[in-house]
Amino acid sequence: MKRPPIAVAGRVAAAGRVSRSAISFAGRVYLDAVLRAGGEPLTLSPRELRHDEAVQLLKGFKALVLMGGADVDPHLYGQQRQPHVYGVNAEQDQFEMALVHAAIELKLPTLAVCRGIQLVNVALGGTLIQHIGDIPGVVQHAPGKFPAGQDYALHDVEITPRTKLSKAVGATKVNVASFHHQGIDVVGKGLKVVARSSDGLVEGLEHTGRDQWLIGVQWHPEDTAATDPHQQNLYDALISVAR
């Protein structure tokens, strides 16, 4: 069976030892999860996109994946930047927001991970908690030396039954890999909360449209998908609806 082409919104890394120029890339664990699910991941290079350009670009794909990454600019949701905010990139924000609006217009299946769920929420008029570490009683959502290092925190997430997310994952309680310091605050238009951690923080959103498969998760399913079937199920579900 032919693999459906899956757009993965890439990002740019600075020049270093491997390359004398900046590199446009996507994380290998995301690509591997899509490949295991039967899709063909193709990385989209970040650049300024008008809405019509984003629509034309995504017409060549069967689904969209938004990866984790640095923080969304707080100015996009009407707030001043607080000290813990890091890695803001205006080009990346604009690029991904254009893709989100185009994907919704095209009803393109979309999986938004970590930064991705936050970007989708902001694109649809929602707001973010700029630093969850300021909230008393939160569980550990990131390793101790965030944002440095490759490790992640593990915690449980409760998923609302009979939702797109619960059907995709195949469970209503999962143990997840977590690596973030921000969270969902006011939920964007057309979205609903479908998962939370034990401290009440939002862990999953999905679009309310019956024919709109758009799921966002605050955790990183790709990090444990090779060994945890529930996490791989999320990518499998994306490819299933993309065919």
Tell me which residues are annotated as active site: 114, 220, 222
Residue burial 67-91, b: 16+ Cβ < 10 Å; e: rest: bbbebbbbebbeeeeeeebeeebee
Q: Which of 96, 189, 197 is nearest to 155 (CA)?
A: 197
Q: Quote the tokens at residue 185.
A: 């605050």
Distance CA 201, CA 162 (A): 20
Find where tokens 């390359």 sit: 19
Position 92, amino acid? Q
Q: Where are the alpha helices (DSSP H) in 107-212?
A: 115-123, 164-169
* H or E element, residue 11: strand 11-13
